[in-house]
Amino acid sequence: MDYKKLIKVALDYRNRAYSPYSDFKVGAAVLFESGEIYGGCNIENASFGATNCAERTGIFKGISEGESKIKAIAIVGSLEEYTYPCGICRQVIAEFGDEDIKVILAKSENDYIEKEMKEILPGAFKKDALGK
């Protein structure tokens, strides 16, 4: 699959980052099984722990609009190296995506690597552990 479009959305949302404390901009684009794409950026807070990552912004936007399953997610943070999702975001992606969904880490539309969820969060704690 060509992830250029998804990366383009992530790059666009990266420009919307609210990151006055870290000066680190992150954009994400979440493709749901419906075919819809939701973009998100990191949104920081003077109380640092209240910060929301780009990935979770995009996922929560989609879920709150009635989406249910993630097919792929593209992430652009640093333009010099690939930015991996933080641990909390990996856990949130795992809640709404199967272990074979694609996680695209990009520096630009033409420079990206493709990972699967099971590579970056093996043995994820999921609803089956709770008997759900």
Which sequence positions are flagged as catalytic?
55
Q: What span, in angstroms and rounded, lies between the C-alpha atoms of 33 and 97?
A: 10
Candidates 4-12, 22-30, 65-73, 114-122 — which segment interacts with ligand THU by CB under 6 A?
22-30
Quick one: which of 9, 10, 26, 72 contacts ligand THU (CB under 6 A)? 26
CB 131 to ligand THU: min, Å? 30
The answer to whether the annotation marks 86 as part of a ligand binding site is yes
CB 26 to ligand THU: min, Å? 3
Number of residues lying near ligand THU (CB under 6 A): 13
Q: Tokens for 27, please give them.
A: 């954009």
Query: Where on the chain is the footprint of ligand THU (CB under 6 A)?
Result: 19, 22, 24, 26, 42, 44, 51, 53-55, 85-86, 89
